[in-house]
Structure 1
Amino acid sequence: MKLKLLVLGILMCILDAQSQEYFPKNDGVKSPNSNYTIFTNANIYTDAGTVIEKGMFAIREGKITAVGKSINIPSNSTVINLEGKHVYPSFIDLYSNFGISKPKRAENGSQPQYDAGREGYYWNDHIRPETDAVSHFSFDAKEAEKLQKAGFGVVNTHVQDGILRGTGILVALTPEASEGDRILNERSAQYLSFDKSVQSRQSYPTSIMGAMALIRQAYLDADWYAKGNADNTDLALEALNRNKNLTQIFVTDNLLNELRADKLGDEFGVQYVIVGSGMEYQRIDKIKASGATYIIPLKFPSAFDVEDPYLATRLSLQEMREWNQAPANLKVLSENNVPFTLTTHSIDAEKDFRSNLIKAIDFGLSKETALAALTSVPARTIGMQGKLGTIKEGAWANFIITSGDYFDKETTIYENWVQGEQKILENMDVTNITGTYDLKIDGKTYELNISGEPSKPKAEVKLGDSRIGSKLSFENNWMNLLLSSPDTTKTEFIRLTANIPEMTTTITGKAILPNGNQSAFTATRTKDSEDKKKQEKDKQVHEIVPVTFPNIAYGFNEKPEQQNVLFKNATVWTSEAEGVLENTDVLVRNGQIARIGKDLNAGGARVIDATGKHLTAGIVDEHSHIAASDINEAGHNSSAEVSMEDALDPTDINIYRNLAGGVTTIQLLHGSANPIGGKSAILKLKWGESAEDLIFEEAAPFIKFALGENVKQANWNSNVRFPQTRMGVEQVFTDYFSRARAYETLKNSGDDFRKDLEMETIVEILNGERFVSSHSYIQSEINMLMKVAEQFDFNINTFTHILEGYKVADKMKEHGVGASTFSDWWAYKYEVNDAIPYNAAIMNEVGLTVAINSDDSEMSRRLNQEAAKTMKYGGMSEEEAWKMVTINPAKLLHIDEYVGSIKEGKHADLVLWNEHPLSIYAIPEKTMIEGVLYFDKEQDAKMREEIKKERNMLIGQMLKAKNDGVKTQPVKVREEQRVHCDLLEKVQ
């Protein structure tokens, strides 16, 4: 009943102001106040680009009725003279939880994805589109005042909980109004995020890729449900369909997630408004291409305390750059015509918002753009253009009155009117007496500096070079100034008093001297206050370091371009039947290997003398976990619906380190948290490119399976998810493959069916359209998975790890599966106790395609040495050993047509080594992908010097900032995270 009454009240606020009022009142007089209030002689910012100097505007019943240079003044008007004052539209914050209590966290523990806690709603508790903020809203007058002091009049608030969070409400900050009057739109937007609901113990999803897959499935299910295909009622899907035409606001917390959200929207034809991170400048090309409007938190990184030289060495260049560059983010957005609004989210609106905005302006943001970002842009974004964010006829009477330019640090916000309701923040009649004066008393001339806010000024007095003790009070435009007497050491004072009703250059008043005699004083204003001078000083030219690709150490100032190159006189390791060719040339043209031979003509190509050096194909790592934000979706026993392509992190420094180790291609595998893991991402390590540009376009699709201890959670102390035994693991595979066959039959029948992303992927496996790379150790499980696959008439493509492969190599050959193993890992957990370093050689001897992989960001840059170990353990030839990190993994990944060997027509993914590539002394001098040099040892040496200089410069800036009184944060020492299959937390 309460909710119905509230909604009824909201509907009433939508009615025209002249509509009949039908609720009786118990206050005696029922006639509303319909008088006009006229504001005159103001500098009126009707919008970000228009100012009416000495203009007028009228308001009546909460709306603006007229505005202009001169307007008609009705007889029933109250006139307010705003001589010398400025008027701006009140601001709008589109991302807030104003008036919404923080949701209560569920009890400790977790439960599997299929145990939803709410009947009649979606199967996953983190999908909550039915949540409506209006049911949770309670006006908070204290918080409203803080926002009004920053200049805000309207906020868009919602329950900040869940992945699909439901609808927000647009609220005017009018303490004296009813809920029905102040709520401008009870369904203003639908909110989404990648964060789970704290109200649910449901474990799925545990990763960014799981969250993205869940949103995709929810969209598909909503469409299927809308067509009347479901046998049950689902209140969440009904709400999702009901909300689809609202503004869609997607909440993110970092730059990569912003781009992921946009990618998701593109898939379903949804243009999200994206709550950003403040780091958009780092990939402004992608931000601009998204076409989204961004809601930017006005929060900047604090400077670090770098006085301790040791701690300063532990501070990353990325953190230092972000402190230096982030204040210019809004300028960069503006220069690239990216629409954005501003939010007080994550900062103190009253204390920090305006100062941070002024800082952004100091870093190049124009005042016009700043004002638009607070008024017209959010109004347009939320569909309230012409009603909010402007001072024009018919708009809500939402405006602020200031002493001057809002973007001037010394300006005072006097009043904030919302829906015609006045909120006095500072006395508008206070005279601003700040400034520097020549103060003359009893034949002496003092220097008087008055600074601070007009209503709370403070004084500093000097006589010559000597500072004089002083105490200033200023109330009701009466100034009282107490000075210590300069002529005596006794407790004697000079007392000054004066009435200052208006701004003037000369103040005169009465002085009571220490001897009690009365005299006069004059104070003549000579210049602006010290605060004003300090503000001007702060507006110094900021030295901002350039953004690199990526924007961390070793990023490129400019992305490298494809080159035509001739490698002359190299020892060429072809990894083909031709073997190793001495004194041979390789010509690279248009990103491909054009010719191989002796005495080739460069034909205008850049010539690199490779005499005495070795040229190989780029190393291919079949099993890697670098370049990812997440490794595992551990929420349930099959995560076939998730994709590692959704979790790519192109800024991972391990990409560059791998290039420095000669690696050019990797398979980024899902972890081993579940028997059926996620889809793989096969990548080219194109350092400096965006996530989607890393993807190997021609590569075949793969998926990760896993066996052993991890999938039954033996190491995680978990007992809430099936399977708990190795027997159960087999049943998981059998169950999912059986369900997938039934799903495919229904799909092909022509009948209506619910598209299931998980089943779609498993059907691809069954049909040989997606290949399986399976984490494995023990022979019994290896046999089991091959038998299950054969039962469903498909083959496992690769067993990775496969440390007991030597025991079942003959059966593996019969099945047709390849092996990707470690060279000599052993005994790091119980199920690898039977591992031997001869494993790779034995499997190779049986006739399997064998690769050496890393599964480790440190080992991956030494895979040449790992391959060399097979010569010691098993007597492999040099060429066969080298194939284990080049053509063999390429074959396992079905990309050997393109990479893995030096052959005419293949991609020019090449590594130039200073000596024999299987030597422990071998160092890549140049690493090329498709004719682009992504690593160059000479360039690397230059980068190191540039990084050293940049670090010193930024440390100097931070030391200066601290000396200038800027608050700093301590350096946090972060240990580098080692990423393997079993990592459950987010990659740091």
Structure 2
Amino acid sequence: MRLNLRPVIVSAAILGLAACATTGSDTEAESNGPAPFASTYTPRPSTPTLIRNATVFDGNGAELSNADVLMRDGHIAAVGQNLSAEGATIIDATGRFVTPGIIDAHSHLGVYPSPSIDATSDGNELTQPNTAEVWAEHSVWPQDPGFLRAVAGGITSLHVLPGSGNLFGGRGVTLRPVLGATTVQEMKFPGAPQSLKMACGENPARVYGSRNSSPATGMGDVAGYRQAFANAARYARQVRNAEEGNGEPPDRDLEMETLAGVLNGDIILQWHCYRADEMANAIQVAHEFNFEIAAFHHAVEAYKITDLLREEGICAAMWADWWGFKLEAYDGIRENIAFVDAGGGCAIVHSDSEVGIQRLNQEAAKAMSDGRRAGLEITRAQAWTWLSRNPARALHIDDETGTLENGRRADVVIWSADPLSSYAVAERVFIDGAQVYERGAERDPPSDFELGQTYTRSAQ
């Protein structure tokens, strides 16, 4: 579900801009060549694999007992009982659980990699309030050991965002956690749209208020959003006029290209916002300039505006129980995720943490338990939609992954036990039908970074 577009005065200004806005997809950005930094991701070779006799959460809210999952040619070929597949590798999953892979909609892996030191803190371009021109992928370090840790926690896709110190932090990117990649292009999810990371509230006001510059207040935040999008609409109008033979095109402006990409729908918007009133203000800005918001992130007070989020088709990416660490996070409740879901909203469990991403299944379990204690009837399979289908929707890759539907990418996890138990671990992880992780198996090849650290320790 998307935001209903309203006819406003700026909509005409962005017509014809799509060919000029660089989205980072695999389509041509300009007539003279392909988009820069295009994905070079290639799935690992896979063989037909049949997982038998598991309890299956299909990602759409259904739980299937004693079910089989067939993966073929990198995709889900069938889900059901008593399946057969000649020549397929058979995995007996009796007593185990099978789910779609977890998708983390808010990660900083690669841009804040391990080890966490000043030299690796590469996610916040805190030089001006609007840095829409920067791309998080240009800071991603593929050797971040966090990628392996994430895969071991059942992660098969993640969205890496810049930090939240600016009104416009820059573009985010959806990645496959390819172990052993040497370039970020090898990790980019093919065809996934880039995002624009925006932030409201205390972070940008604190950063720039301390410098005696704008924004220093909430009203400064909103004025900054509005002026930037007004500038982008003017830029788009100049491009359109030039294409129609009326005047010269403007000089290429990477900041304006990103904002115009949001206005024309090529770039999806992910908005860091805690308070209900500030989310409501952000929605008004979206109405004024006729663009869509894919998701509010952190959204500690989403439970207060569940009806508004549902009506607008905006997802809420939330923590299970982080709250109170600053004033705008003070009014959080543990039932937030469950209440958004119960109200018909698109609820997502996200990490925003190199540690939390390893245990997102447990975060969903906490949110489910808190909702049940509040009297809500939440099934295990329903809670799993917060980890796979809904984040895929917010990233606009739900036609590719997030559920175990026929034809979807075979992103599959076999769990040792009920994955909403703290005792469960991911035993095997498949991405595009290829097994990329098996618990207890030696990794081949090991990370260059970790191999070096191991050698140093053993030499002492």
TM-score bracket for the superposition, by shorter chain length = 0.7 to 0.9
In 2, the alpha carbon distance for the partners of 1:953 and 1:722 equals: 49
In 2, distance between residues paired with 1:952 and 1:728? 50
CA distance in 2, matches of 1:744, 1:906: 36
**Which of these residues, 896, 901, 905, is aligned with residue 407 of structure 2?**
905
Of 810, 834, 838, the residue aligned with 2:331 is 834
Moved over 6 A (4+): 941-944, 947-956
Q: Which residue of 2 aligns with 1:595?
A: 78
From 168, 177, 186, the counterpart of 1:685 = 177
1:564 maps to which residue? 48
Q: CA RMSD in A?
A: 2.6
Spell out, residue by residue over 1:681-726, the C-alpha distance to the aligned partner (whole angstroms, 9 max, x if none): 1011111123211100121221111011111125x87315421111
Q: Distance in 1 between matches of 2:443 and 2:66?
A: 28
What is the aligned partner in structure 1 of residue 14 from structure 2?
none
Mapped to 2, the partners of 1:838 and 1:870 lie a distance apart of 6
The answer to whether residue 346 in structure 2 is matched with residue 854 in structure 1 is: no
Q: Give distance in 2, aligned partners of 1:826 and 1:738.
A: 34
Choose the corresponding residue for 2:105, options 612, 622, 644: 622
SS in 2 for 1:820: strand
Q: 3-state DSSP class of the match of 1:680?
A: strand
- The CA distance in 2 between the partners of 1:614 and 1:880, in whole Å, is 15
Shift of 1:561: 3.9
2:258 is equivalent to residue 761 of structure 1: yes
1:568–1:611 Cα contact (<8 Å) kept: yes
1:670 equivalent in alignment to 2:162: yes
Partner of 1:576: 60
Alignment of 1:328-727 (within 5 A): 561-576=45-60, 579-628=62-111, 630-690=122-182, 691-713=184-206, 718-727=210-219
Q: Distance in 1 between matches of 2:104 and 2:442?
A: 23
Q: Secondary structure at the match of 1:596?
A: strand
Q: Distance in 1 between matches of 2:450 and 2:177?
A: 25
Shift of 1:799: 0.5
Measure the CA separation in 1 of the matches of 2:363 and 2:454: 38
Q: Which residue of 2 aligns with 1:932?
A: 434
1:782 aligns with 2:279: yes
Q: How far off its partner does 1:948 sit?
A: 12
Highest Rg: 1 or 2?
Answer: 1
Shift of 1:940: 4.1
SS of 1:808 mapped into structure 2: helix
* Residues 953 and 699 of structure 1: CA distance in aligned 2, closer, same or farther (over 3 Å): closer
> How far apart in 2 are the matches of 1:625 and 1:644?
9
* CA deviation vs aligned residue, 1:922-956 (integer Å, no higher than 9, x gap): 00001111122221113148999xx9999887667
The letter for the 2-side match of 1:696 is F
Partner amino acid, structure 1, of 2:259: I
- In structure 1, the residue corresponding to 2:181 is in which secondary structure? coil
Q: Between Structure 1 and Structure 2, how many residues are aligned?
A: 401
Choose between structure 1 and 2: higher strand proportion. 1
Equivalence for 2:293: 796
Kindly provide the amino acid, as one letter, of the partner of residue 765 in structure 1: V
Paired amino acid for 2:396:
H
Aligned residue for 1:874, secondary structure, equals: helix
Find the aligned partners of 2:185 and 2:298 in 1 and give their Cα distance. 28
Percent of aligned positions that are identical:
35
Q: Deviations over 1:537-566 (max 9, x none)?
A: xxxxxxxxxxxxxxxxxxxxxx96433221
Whether the 8 Å CA contact 1:636–1:721 is kept in 2: the answer is no
What residue in structure 1 maps to residue 303 of structure 2? 806
Q: Go from structure 1 to structure 2 and tell me whether the alpha carbon gap of 1:564 and 1:791 turns closer, same or farther (over 3 Å shift).
A: same
CA distance in 2, matches of 1:940, 1:793: 51
Distance 2:454 2:294 in 1: 51
The Cα offsets for residues 281-315 of structure 1, whole Å up to 9 and x where unpaired, read as: xxxxxxxx9xxxxxxxxxxxxxxxxxxxxxxxxxx
The separation in 2 between residues aligned to 1:675 and 1:949, in whole angstroms, is 39
Measured after TM superposition, the shift of residue 877 of structure 1 is 2.2
Q: Deviations over 1:21-65 (max 9, x none)?
A: xxxxxxxxxxxxxxxxxxxxxxxxxxxxxxxxxxxxxxxxxxxxx
The answer (yes or no) to whether the contact 1:637–1:721 under 8 Å persists in 2 is: no
Give CA deviations for 1:42-92 in whole Å, capped at 9, x if unaligned.
Answer: xxxxxxxxxxxxxxxxxxxxxxxxxxxxxxxxxxxxxxxxxxxxxxxxxxx
> Partners of 1:793 and 1:920 in 2: how far apart?
44
| Partner in structure 1 of residue 117 of structure 2 | none
Give distance in 2, aligned partners of 1:789 and 1:949. Answer: 48
Counterpart of 1:870 (choices 363, 367, 372) is 367
Q: How far apart, in 2, do the equivalents of 1:583 and 1:769 lie?
A: 42
Which residue, out of 735, 738, 744, partners 2:227? 735
C-alpha change, 1:708 and 1:585, in structure 2 (3 Å) is: same
**Cα 1:809–1:576 shift into 2, 3 Å:** closer
Give the Cα separation in 2 of the matches to 1:771 and 1:623: 14
TM-score (norm 2): 0.82
Residues of 2 paired with 1:789 and 1:267: CA distance?
28
8 Å contact kept, 2:209–2:216: no
The answer to whether the 8 Å contact 2:145/2:450 transfers is no
Question: What secondary structure, in the 3-state scheme, does the structure 1 residue paired with 2:206 have?
Answer: coil
Aligned equivalent of 1:749: 241
Q: 2: distance between equivalents of 1:590 and 1:560?
A: 11
Structure 2 gap ranges (5+): 1-21, 23-34, 112-119, 373-377
